[in-house]
Structure 1
Amino acid sequence: MKKKRYDQEFKEQVVRECQEVGNIALVARRHGLSKNTVYNWLQATRKNGSVIPLPRDVNQRLLEAENRLESLARENDQLKRLVAEKELELAILRELRDRVNPQ
């Protein structure tokens, strides 16, 4: 039996969908995949931070890991800013709600 190869973009899309939906079997069925295949992709994502495997060469592996770490740090900063904005909005709304006579 010949193994079917999927491109990295498709794997990342399926993994993102699994994380959003929360049901591996449903997503696998929707894309015509084995749930074990999707589960393996999820495990690889949890282990490496991505479905894309790290290179075998040590120097390239370190460079790729640094790039992924920088990317995650940027994403983390963006998410922190979003949370801060939402917290500010909530604080303003709570203050308006608690006023005796808001006008």
Structure 2
Amino acid sequence: MAKRKYSDELKAQVVKECREIGNIALVARRHDISKNTVYSWVNKAKKNGSVKSLPKNKDKQFKEIKKRLNKLGTENDQLKKLLAEKELELAILRDLRDQSNPQ
């Protein structure tokens, strides 16, 4: 079977119909397009916000930003945990100070 080329406009229209109707198989049959093809368009639209593929350099840049975001999220979680530990330690020290110096 020869690989067919679909315009970005058709892809966008099919994805829009899938979102409105909620049945990918029905939309695929209506347009005589493979369900797998339509599924890939819908997934790409969810991931990129559009059915158009990102240019190679943009895709690489996107992956780098996503990786950096994940790293920063992990670092942020570690810092929150450390802050909570330090706040607990400070509260304990204040309690000890107040117990040893009742006024």
TM bucket normalised to smaller? 0.5 to 0.7
The structure having more radius of gyration, on CA atoms, is 2
Partner of 2:38: 38
For each residue in 1:21-65, what CA deviation from the matched residue of structure 2 results, as whole angstroms up to 9, or x when unmatched? 00000000000011111001001011111100111134xx67xxx
Structure 1 stretches lacking a partner, 5+ long: 63-103
Is 1:28–2:28 an aligned residue pair? yes
Rounded Cα–Cα distance in structure 2 between residues aligned with 1:57 and 1:25: 33
Rounded Cα–Cα distance in structure 2 between residues aligned with 1:15 and 1:37: 11
Rounded Cα–Cα distance in structure 1 between residues aligned with 2:3 and 2:35: 15
Partner of 1:65: none
For each residue in 1:61-94, what CA deviation from the matched residue of structure 2 results, as whole angstroms up to 9, or x when unmatched? 67xxxxxxxxxxxxxxxxxxxxxxxxxxxxxxxx
Amino acid at match of 1:13: Q
Structure 2 stretches lacking a partner, 5+ long: 63-103
Partner of 1:47: 47
Partner of 2:87: none
Count of aligned residue pairs for this structure pair: 60
1:2-13 residue pairs with structure 2 within 5 A?
A: 2-13=2-13
Runs ≥4 in structure 1, deviation > 6 angstroms?
none
The CA RMSD measured in Å over matched residues stands at 1.5
